[in-house]
Homo-oligomer: A and B are copies of this chain.
Amino acid sequence: MVDIIHRIGIKASISSVYAAVATVEGIAGWWTTATSGRSTPGGRLNFRFQRPTGEEIGQMEFEVMDLRPEQHVRWRCASGPGEWIGTEVTFDLKQEGDTVVLLFGHRDWREAVEFTAHCSMKWATFLLSLRQLVETGQGRPAPEDLKIDDWN
């Protein structure tokens, strides 16, 4: 199995970082404004992505598998790009000095394809957006997200 993993440090309270990954309002502030559903164990989260012109790029649905306040969030992809179905996204939080360390994972890709490399780069820029949201109050979610290549 192939995994994308990233580490980022955020200067904020662990409760505010947790809120950014464990609530619909939080996620909408750094990943995509078109976030809906219920962030509760067994709940479903739906994410839609559009170009700034309004054209839909894609959408995906995750089941919320685990939520441990200020520690851990785990989702499993139920629908979306074929390569994503069955993969899991995790956010693990810990305090180190004055920094909250967020360990991100998008795991269990069946193979490492060019789309995996695109998603790895894209997740990194969304984690910068997440940090900016928590530290400044303003993230950079889709559709105004940083574009990284000819795919988005």
Contacts and interface: CB of A to CB of B under 8 A. Distances in A.
A55 interface: no
Nearest to A96: B150
A6 B97 contact: no
Interface string A109-152: 00010101110110011011000000000000000000011110
Q: Tell me the number of copies of this protein.
A: 2
A151 B103 CA distance: 13
Nearest to A6: B121
Interface residues of A, number: 29
A101 interface: yes
User: Which of A2, A99, A128 has the most chain B CB atoms closer than 10 A to its own CB?
Assistant: A128
Given A112-B3, A112-B5, A149 B117 contact: no
Contacts of A103: 114, 117
10 contacts: A5-B116, A6-B124, A7-B148, A7-B149, A8-B148, A9-B150, A9-B151, A97-B150, A101-B149, A120-B120
